[in-house]
A and B are shown apart, each in its own frame.
Chain A
Amino acid sequence: MTLFHFLNCALLTFGPHAVYYTATPLSEYDTIGTCVKAAIVYLGTALVKLICLATFLEVSDSDSFNPYQELLKALIGFIDVAGLYFALTQLTHRNISQNHKFQAVGLGWAFADSVLHRLVPLWVGARGLEFTWEYIFQGIEANADLVLNLSLAAIGSLMWLRRNKPKTLIPIIYACAGILATMPSITSYLRRALGWQPPKLVAFELSSSLVMAIISWQLFSACHRPV
């Protein structure tokens, strides 16, 4: 049944966000407001990115990898980081600890990202009779994205909210932030230039997001260790 398939894929794509919210102490402290605010900021960031992309990028028919275009896309991707900075620092949150703040912001950010990029293709495509693995892969990608966004939010909060950081770790922090911010460009490079197939690509995304999450977790806990 095709609606069944749609429900499966929707569950896979959006379920982890809900599970994350309910499982962690985020639900106890009622941080839903932060999540919603982060989602709205993401919306604004996405609009700005769209305008920039439309202005600066050329539309090409082929799916080949054009380094110049990809570089431009990466640069525009840094607007994402700026948006995250805005969400983390500029919005007035209720008094929640930094620990939870970055989680809430990251969660809201990732949820908005998933909804905007994946809901409509899912609705239109997964309900049809034709079966493809595409939407399952999209769901797994959404999971990987969640982890990536959480790590980026963690690193972001480290960079902008934490005042006293161990000096040695600062370059690592910035390096991680750089890698996380350019992750979309890296995946598109892999897909287009090297021609990786979806299963391989999704596996890479999952593994890389897990690795980055572990690294950022280590960094976070290292920075929060009582000196």
Chain B
Amino acid sequence: MIIHYQCFQFDSRSWFGRKTSSLFSGRLARICRGGGGMVMSLTTYSILVLVLVLAVCVELGDAATAVDAYRLIQYDLDGAPYGSRLAALNHFAGVAPFASGVDLSRTAVILPLRDLNFTLLHEFITGKQQLGGLLFLLPRDTDSARKDTGPIRTILSKLEHLLIHANLPYPVYFAHEDDKINEVLPDVQRGDGTGQPASATTGGLELMTHSFKLVVSTSEPKKLSSPTITNIQGWLPGLKGDGTSQLPTIAVVASYDTFGAAPELSVGSDSNGSGVVVLLEIARLFSRLYSNPNTRGRYNLLFGLTSGGPYNYDGTMKWLRNFDQRIRESIEFAICLNSVGSWDNELWLHVSKPPENVYIRQVYESLADVAKELDVTIGLKHKKINISNSRVAWEHEQFSRVRVTALTLSELSVAPELLHNTGGLSDSRDSVDDTTIQKSIKLVAESLGIGYAVSLKPPISSGSTVSDREKILRKIVALDQNGSDEGHDFHVLPLTCLCFSSPRTARADPSISGFDSGIFFSITYRLASSLLPYVLLRKLLLEERHIYGYQGRNVQIFADNSSLALNPFYVKSWLDLLSQTPRVAPFLSKNDAIVSALKKELADHTDEVNVYHETIDGMFTFYDSTRSTLSIYQVTSVGFDFVMLAIIGLYLIVLFTVLVIATRGFDELLLMIRRPPTRKSKAA
């Protein structure tokens, strides 16, 4: 290196001033010049090679358009592959309509969703046509008019059904419509539709057309090893009496995860965001009731937010299997909530035990009672479990398999198929209605409230006659009641004894104004309790209601304008949050934000919160790479580059000729042209 530097110095000096070179010995200068030249040529050669290597690594550079693209889900079900099997995309863009028989294996087809051609799509998928890629353009949320969402939603659900059960060996992406993409589409259509640049042999005009390349540069999708599903449970203990016997438990369960064609877009507002919101609001209301020992019921309440819903309620099963035996046996019944956000006036109660079962009948009747007051109907559907069939369509079936009475409240009248109605693309914020959810909350809360209130009732032996009962009740009521509640003001309570307006009168006084809510609570506070079965109590109460002429009154614990009213803003804010959070379980980490948020929310409302992590069972395997950036480049054909080279070459040659003629004269030019032949002749 040093020698080279010195020689270079020598060289440059001799370059700039030949006169000075005589100062150095001629031989040294010559050697250095020669040696330096050799070293210099080596370094220039290596620099050239380096430059070429660098140049060949083509940088993609800035694209005209870059948008977020969400990949179709890729999963294996029992080893069979489904979904989009590739992630990287680097092909020319093409737009329908195509000429028949054209080869699309190097084209990424763009399909806007507004006017989706399902027959074409069917052809692609069922005909197993090899495409370079597929890009669906989802309409923008902001500019879709209200009336537009219905048809779009049907298109989306049809599309989802088609894509989830197809095996597509090319990348499939969803992207939101963008101004820039919309500019690109007509340009692409102007060509022959395949978007491929014309080869050099086809006419000259086509050489100047631009084609567009869709590029998604991402690595190959990898299997997700043991994806975790997280179950969150909240436990609200009831007021234990002097007896040490286990209190019965009522469970309210909802699965919070979703599954859809595009995992990053599956927000599942209705399935099952509505269920989660109903559960949270009920938890909030009952936690208010339970916070005061005066009003704490004698039932434990168990709230369960389960995951793994779309996968045959795998998470629910694992959660139940983890349960302590005693707790599991103490569950009287469990209400599972599944899609309660977009019904009109009919809800369904799905059961697996025969409807003659006592508990089921009672729950159904209390629900029906409340429903009547809200002007809605509840239908009962019985579907037997088939143990040999691994398909679990409703969450209550998992409970039934471990011998816990359970039922599912849902707006769906038929059991959904595997991976259907799991909150996919079509299930967005505007598919749920706030007021409908509030109705659902009221329904479930009030019917649970009946049980709650019943549980507070003092024990009465079942063998006594009506008059005996009446005497006992009056005695109870005659006890002094000076305890006041802590500001819970109930308008009316659904139990006859509560309708006594004053301790002195035994007659039911239907007027609300004289009612003193303090009576009720102080009764329960003073009286010991061991619990009569809910069943009998309720029977008793209905009779008494009848006896005391208490019929047809509007009964509400959680009435509007009371401190226990349901909070529409709470409902709205949780619904908004859930509608912005994609919740496909394999892609939620253990400490994902939404899991922590739900845990914290349950912790606010319940006494004890537990989080359980499980893995999805082996039937499903998922692959990562759900979201990337799609770049759209405007590219020209190779022919165009050749034409440019020809033009520039011609220009330089013309320039050369002109300059030679102008400065040296025409003869010089002729000499230059003729020199090679003369050299050859000289050599010969």
Distance in angstroms from A132 CB to nearest chain B CB is: 8
Q: Tell me whether B663 and A23 are in contact (CB under 8 A).
A: yes
Q: Of residues 1 to 31 in B, which have CB atoms within 8 Å of A's CB atoms?
A: 15-16
Q: Which residues of B are found within 8 Å of A11, using beta-carbon distances? A: 645, 648-649, 652
Q: In this complex, what residue of B is CB-closest to A125?
A: B61
**Complex formed: what's the CA distance from A16 to B215 in Å?**
36
Q: Which residues of B are found within 8 Å of A130, using beta-carbon distances? A: 61-64, 633-635
Q: Which residues of B are found within 8 Å of A20, using beta-carbon distances? A: 655, 659
Q: Tell me whether A8 and B644 are in contact (CB under 8 A).
A: yes
Residues A23 and B656 in contact in the complex (CB < 8 Å), given A128-B61, A129-B58, A131-B210? yes
Distance in angstroms from B652 CB to nearest chain A CB is: 5
In the assembled complex, A124 has its CB within 8 A of some CB on chain B: yes
Q: Tell me whether A131 and B648 are in contact (CB under 8 A).
A: no
Q: Tell me whether A129 and B633 are in contact (CB under 8 A).
A: yes
Distance in angstroms from A78 CB to nearest chain B CB is: 29
Q: Of residues 2 to 34 in A, which have CB atoms within 8 Å of B's CB atoms?
A: 2-8, 11-12, 15-16, 19-20, 22-25, 33
Q: Tell me whether A128 and B659 are in contact (CB under 8 A).
A: no
Q: Tell me whether B659 and A24 are in contact (CB under 8 A).
A: yes
Q: Tell me whether B61 and A1 are in contact (CB under 8 A).
A: no
Residues A129 and B213 in contact in the complex (CB < 8 Å), given A4-B641, A19-B659, A23-B663? yes
**Complex formed: what's the CA distance from A167 to B649 in Å?**
44
Q: Tell me whether A15 and B652 are in contact (CB under 8 A).
A: yes
Q: Which residues of A are found within 8 Å of B645, using beta-carbon distances? A: 4, 7-8, 11
In the assembled complex, A118 has its CB within 8 A of some CB on chain B: no
In the assembled complex, B56 has its CB within 8 A of some CB on chain A: yes
Q: Tell me whether A128 and B58 are in contact (CB under 8 A).
A: yes
Q: Which residues of B are found within 8 Å of A6, using beta-carbon distances? A: 55
Interface centre among B210, B213, B644, B649 (most CB of A within 10 A): B644
Among A12, A23, A33, A129, point to the contact of B635 (Cβ < 8 A). Answer: A129
In the assembled complex, B682 has its CB within 8 A of some CB on chain A: no
Chain A, interface size category, equals: 20 to 34
Residues A33 and B15 in contact in the complex (CB < 8 Å), given A8-B641, A11-B652, A130-B633? yes
Q: Of residues 32 to 77 in A, which have CB atoms within 8 Å of B's CB atoms?
A: 33
Q: Which residues of A are found within 8 Å of B648, using beta-carbon distances? A: 8, 11-12, 15
In the assembled complex, B619 has its CB within 8 A of some CB on chain A: no
**Complex formed: what's the CA distance from A129 to B660 in Å?**
38
Q: Which residues of A are found within 8 Å of B61, using beta-carbon distances? A: 124-125, 127-130
Residues A1 and B663 in contact in the complex (CB < 8 Å), given A8-B648, A130-B62? no
Q: Which residues of A are found within 8 Å of B659, using beta-carbon distances? A: 19-20, 23-24
Residues A4 and B634 in contact in the complex (CB < 8 Å), given A25-B663, A127-B55? no
Question: Total interface residues on B, using CB and 8 Å?
Answer: 33
In the assembled complex, B375 has its CB within 8 A of some CB on chain A: no
Q: Which residues of A are found within 8 Å of B63, using beta-carbon distances? A: 129-130
Interface centre among B16, B61, B213, B215 (most CB of A within 10 A): B61
Q: Which residues of B are found within 8 Å of A19, using beta-carbon distances? A: 652, 655-656, 659
Q: What 0/1 readout, one digit per residue, does chain B (617-653) give for beta carbons within 8 Å of chain A?
A: 0000000000000000111101001001100110110
Q: In this complex, what residue of A is CB-closest to B646?
A: A8
Q: Which residues of B are found within 8 Å of A23, using beta-carbon distances? A: 655-657, 659-660, 663-664
Residues A128 and B62 in contact in the complex (CB < 8 Å), given A23-B655, A23-B659? yes
Distance in angstroms from B99 CB to nearest chain A CB is: 25
Q: In this complex, what residue of B is CB-closest to A26?
A: B663
**Complex formed: what's the CA distance from A124 to B55 in Å?**
10
Q: In this complex, what residue of A is CB-closest to B664?
A: A25
**Complex formed: what's the CA distance from A112 to B634 in Å?**
32
Q: What 0/1 readout, one digit per residue, does chain B (585-601) give for beta carbons within 8 Å of chain A?
A: 00000000000000000
**Complex formed: what's the CA distance from A9 to B636 in Å?**
14
In the assembled complex, B60 has its CB within 8 A of some CB on chain A: yes
Q: In this complex, what residue of A is CB-closest to B640?
A: A131
Q: What 0/1 readout, one digit per residue, does chain B (45-65) give for beta carbons within 8 Å of chain A?
A: 000000000011011111110
Distance in angstroms from A34 CB to nearest chain B CB is: 11
Distance in angstroms from B64 CB to nearest chain A CB is: 6
Q: Which residues of A are found within 8 Å of B56, using beta-carbon distances? A: 3
Q: Which residues of A are found within 8 Å of B210, using beta-carbon distances? A: 131
Q: Which residues of A are found within 8 Å of B215, using beta-carbon distances? A: 129
Q: Which residues of A are found within 8 Å of B58, using beta-carbon distances? A: 2-3, 127-129
Q: In this complex, what residue of A is CB-closest to B642?
A: A4
**Complex formed: what's the CA distance from A176 to B110 in Å?**
57
Q: Which residues of B are found within 8 Å of A129, using beta-carbon distances? A: 58, 60-61, 63, 213, 215, 633, 635
**Complex formed: what's the CA distance from A24 to B668 in Å?**
11
Q: Of residues 49 to 103 in B, which have CB atoms within 8 Å of A's CB atoms?
A: 55-56, 58-64
Q: In this complex, what residue of B is CB-closest to A5?
A: B641
**Complex formed: what's the CA distance from A169 to B59 in Å?**
54
**Complex formed: what's the CA distance from A125 to B274 in Å?**
51
Residues A3 and B663 in contact in the complex (CB < 8 Å), given A11-B648, A19-B655, A130-B64? no
Q: In this complex, what residue of B is CB-closest to A37?
A: B16
Distance in angstroms from A149 CB to nearest chain B CB is: 16
Q: Tell me whether A128 and B16 are in contact (CB under 8 A).
A: no
Q: Which residues of B are found within 8 Å of A33, using beta-carbon distances? A: 15-16
Q: What 0/1 readout, one digit per residue, does chain B (406-419) give for beta carbons within 8 Å of chain A?
A: 00000000000000
**Complex formed: what's the CA distance from A195 to B213 in Å?**
31
Q: Which residues of B are found within 8 Å of A8, using beta-carbon distances? A: 641, 644-645, 648
Distance in angstroms from A13 CB to nearest chain B CB is: 10
Q: Which residues of A are found within 8 Å of B657, using beta-carbon distances? A: 23
Q: Tell me whether A4 and B638 are in contact (CB under 8 A).
A: yes
**Complex formed: what's the CA distance from A194 to B471 in Å?**
101
Distance in angstroms from A27 CB to nearest chain B CB is: 10
Distance in angstroms from A51 CB to nearest chain B CB is: 28
Q: Which residues of B are found within 8 Å of A4, using beta-carbon distances? A: 638, 641, 645
Q: Tell me whether B60 and A128 are in contact (CB under 8 A).
A: yes
Q: Which residues of B are found within 8 Å of A16, using beta-carbon distances? A: 652, 655
Q: What 0/1 readout, one digit per residue, does chain A (108-150) give for beta carbons within 8 Å of chain B?
A: 0000000000000000110111111000100000000000000
Q: Tell me whether B655 and A131 are in contact (CB under 8 A).
A: no
**Complex formed: what's the CA distance from A18 to B302 in Å?**
85
Q: Which residues of B are found within 8 Å of A2, using beta-carbon distances? A: 58
Distance in angstroms from A131 CB to nearest chain B CB is: 5
Q: In this complex, what residue of A is CB-closest to B669?
A: A23
Q: Which residues of A are found within 8 Å of B55, using beta-carbon distances? A: 3, 6, 127
**Complex formed: what's the CA distance from A128 to B636 in Å?**
12
Q: Tell me whether A1 and B16 are in contact (CB under 8 A).
A: no
Q: In this complex, what residue of A is CB-closest to B65?
A: A130
**Complex formed: what's the CA distance from A180 to B633 in Å?**
39
Q: In this complex, what residue of A is CB-closest to B56?
A: A3
Q: Which residues of B are found within 8 Å of A1, using beta-carbon distances? A: 638, 641
Distance in angstroms from B639 CB to nearest chain A CB is: 11
Q: Tell me whether B638 and A22 are in contact (CB under 8 A).
A: no
**Complex formed: what's the CA distance from A15 to B657 in Å?**
14
**Complex formed: what's the CA distance from A15 to B63 in Å?**
28
Q: Which residues of B are found within 8 Å of A128, using beta-carbon distances? A: 58-62, 633
Distance in angstroms from B357 CB to nearest chain A CB is: 67
| Additional A-B contacts beyond A33-B15, A128-B633 (8; CB < 8 A) | A1-B638, A6-B55, A12-B651, A15-B652, A127-B59, A127-B61, A128-B59, A131-B633
Which residues on A are within 8 Å of B, measured CB to CB?
Answer: 1-8, 11-12, 15-16, 19-20, 22-25, 33, 124-125, 127-132, 136
Q: Mind listing 6 A-B residue pairs with CB under 8 Å? A: A6-B55, A15-B648, A127-B59, A128-B60, A129-B635, A130-B63
Nearest 7 A-B pairs (CB), nearest first?
A128-B61, A23-B659, A129-B633, A4-B641, A24-B663, A130-B633, A131-B636
